[in-house]
Amino acid sequence: MPDLDTETAADTAAAPLAGIRVIELARILAGPWAGQLLADLGADVIKIEHPEGGDDTRRWGPPFVEGADGENLSAAYYHSTNRGKRSVTIDIATVEGAKAARDLISSADVVLENFKVGGLKKYGLDYGSLKPDNPALVYCSITGFGQTGPYAPRAGYDFIIQAMTGMMSITGEPGREPQKAGVAISDIFTGLYSVIAIQAALRHAERTGEGQMIDMALFDTQAGILGNQNLNYLVSGSAPVQMGNAHMNIAPYEVFPVSDGHVIIAVGNDGQFQRFCKLLGATGMAADPEFQTNPLRVAHRERLRAELIAEMSSWNKADILAACEANAVPAGPINNIAEMFADPQIIARGLRMDLTDGAGTEIPSVRAPIILPASPLHYDRPSPRLGEHTQEVMAELEAIKSKGKRT
Cα 81 to Cα 28, 30, 57, 364, distances in angstroms: 9, 9, 9, 12
Cα 332 to Cα 266, 273, 282, 321, distances in angstroms: 8, 16, 20, 6
- Burial of 175 (C-beta count, 10 Å sphere; 0-12/13-18/19+): exposed
Of 187, 215, 220, 354, the active-site residue reads: 187
94: left (phi over 0), alpha (psi -120 to 50) or beta: beta
Which residue intervals of 350-389 are DSSP H helices?
none
Question: In whole angstroms, what is the distance from residue 159 CA to residue 350 CA?
Answer: 31
Give me the torsion for CA of 264, 268, 271, 273, rounded to 10°: 40
| Cα 179-27-384 angle, rounded to 5 deg | 120
Question: In whole angstroms, what is the distance from residue 407 CA to residue 403 CA?
Answer: 9
Cα 336 to Cα 339, 341, 342, distances in angstroms: 5, 9, 10
Instruction: Examine the residue annotation and report whether 40 is marked as an active-site residue of this protein.
Output: no
**Residue positions annotated with a catalytic role:** 187
